[in-house]
Amino acid sequence: MPNLKNLMAPQEMLVAGAALKTGIFDFLYEKPATLEELAQALSMDFRALWTVTEALIALGYLTKDQEQMTLTSEAKDLFYNTHSENYIGYSLIHTFNVTKSWTQLPETLKTGKPPERLRDQQDIKGFMAAMGKYAGQISHELVKICLADLPEKPRVLDLGGGPLNYARPMARAGAMVTVQDVPEVCAVMQKTLLPGENIVFVPGDFTEGVVKGPFDLAFLGNICHIYGEKENCTLFHRVHGSLGSGGRIAIFDLVRGASPRAELFAVNMLVNTQTGGTWTFEQYSRWLEQAGFGNVTMHQVQDRQIITAERN
Ligand SMILES: C[S@@+](CC[C@H](N)C(=O)[O-])C[C@H]1O[C@@H](n2cnc3c(N)ncnc32)[C@H](O)[C@@H]1O
């Protein structure tokens, strides 16, 4: 059903997203400040900062008493109170970043290419937060499906598992988890490992090579949508080579034709990746069978799917 009634919603997201990304909210979370103090601390243009903070006051993110600006309790709940039901944390930075690419959709329609994007540390934090937001609600069910009937203390390879959303629950369930992710994500997330957590990071690009096994399970959580047919087929072949006999691959993603969100999410991948998109169960089945997998099965987990297959 078409729905374009709230045309101001993107503007609110962008002004709050910019305040989070540039550290305005972080600064005011530490202590109230005047416009002068904020402009000086964050090296910002006075007129621009005044205009943005006045809008944030009007929207209910900030209050001003005399000249001191403070975060409202609603804003604290949204960005800093992890126990609040309204908590979204730094994930808004990720929404802000991908939206920048969405605004280039007219150009992408002509070129077929996404706009250039650079990621800084704040962006990586936002990305990790966005990935974690959803995981908590489904990790129990996901772990049950992925680890079912595997040997005790299964050896798990979590490809693109840097945010640790599923590595952690799998390790808690007794698995020995190897996470392969890009070096910059491994560097950030390595520091968050807890003492005794059965997780090892191996930095490396999985389009160039996959950690040698043998593993009992290779988990591919939300990575197949970043790549197209060619890269996914190569990846499935490599994963096949890293699994022990009887090993399992588990792909967790939005499957086109099975998830109501898959078509719109593919546009997100169109504007944010080179070859990404969402793929049908038939496509996954064909790619998996070509790579030497059998018994391809699809499981429903909320609005996403897990496709499992066994190494022949
Ligand atoms: C969309 S996130 C998914 C994170 C996690 N698996 C989940 O489901 O919540 C994709 C992850 O894959 C990693 N990634 C993407 N391409 C990669 C590549 N070529 N090699 C290694 N890691 C990659 C990203 O750094 C990121 O951590």
CA–CA separation, 283 and 35 (whole Å): 55
Q: What is the pLDDT of residues 127-179, one digit of tens each?
A: 877 777 777 778 999 999 999 999 999 999 999 999 999 999 999 999 999 99
The answer to whether residues 75 and 140 belong to one domain is no
Q: Kindly state whether residues 161 and 278 are assigned to the same domain.
A: yes
169 lines ligand 1 (CB under 6 A): no
Q: Is the CB of 161 under 6 A from ligand 1?
A: yes
Q: Is residue 121 part of a domain?
A: no
User: Residue 222 carries which DSSP code?
Assistant: S
Longest Cα separation, the chain: 71
Please report the atom of ligand 1 found closest to the CA of residue 160: 12
Q: What is the pLDDT of residues 19-69, one digit of tens each?
A: 999 999 999 999 999 999 999 999 999 999 999 999 999 999 999 999 999
Q: Distance from first CA to last CA of the chain, Å, rounded?
A: 44
Residue that finishes a domain, picked among 80, 113, 128:
80
Please indicate, yes or no, if residue 206 is contained in any of the structural domains. Answer: yes
Q: Are 272 and 98 in contact (CB under 8 A)?
A: yes
Domain with residue 75: its CATH number is 1.10.10.10
Tell me, yes or no, whether 142 and 206 share the same domain. Answer: yes
**Per-residue model confidence (pLDDT) at position 4:** 82
Average pLDDT over residues 94-109: 94
Q: Residue 171 belongs to what domain range?
A: 136-311
Q: Are residues 48 and 143 in the same domain?
A: no
ipTM: 0.99
**Pair (63, 147) in one structural domain:** no
Compute, in degrees rounded to 10, the torsion defined by CA atoms 225, 227, 230, 236. -60
Of 46, 55, 47, 49, the residue nearest 24 (C-alpha)? 49
Between the alpha carbon of residue 222 and those of residues 87, 134, 178, 207, the distances in Å are 22, 12, 17, 15
User: What percentage of residues in the chain have a pLDDT greater than 90?
Assistant: 87
Check which CATH number belongs to the domain holding 270 and give it: 3.40.50.150
Question: Does one domain contain both 186 and 50?
Answer: no
Q: Is the CB of 129 under 6 A from ligand 1?
A: no
pLDDT category of residue 120 using cuts at 50, 70 and 90: confident
Question: What pTM was computed for the model?
Answer: 0.90
Cα 175 to its chain centre, rounded Å, is: 22
The rounded Å distance from CA 161 to ligand 1 centre is: 6
Q: Is residue 115 part of a domain?
A: no
Determine the average pLDDT of the residues in 111-115: 94
- Mean per-residue pLDDT over the chain, rounded: 94
Counting the structural domains of the chain, the total is 2
What is the predicted pLDDT for the residue at 146? Answer: 97
70 vs 53: CA distance, rounded Å = 11
Q: Name the residue of 181, 211, 232, 238 whose CB sits within 8 Å of the most ligand 1 atoms, as the mutation to test its pocket.
A: 181
Final residue in a domain of this structure, among 33, 61, 80: 80
Q: Do residues 161 and 291 both lie within one domain?
A: yes
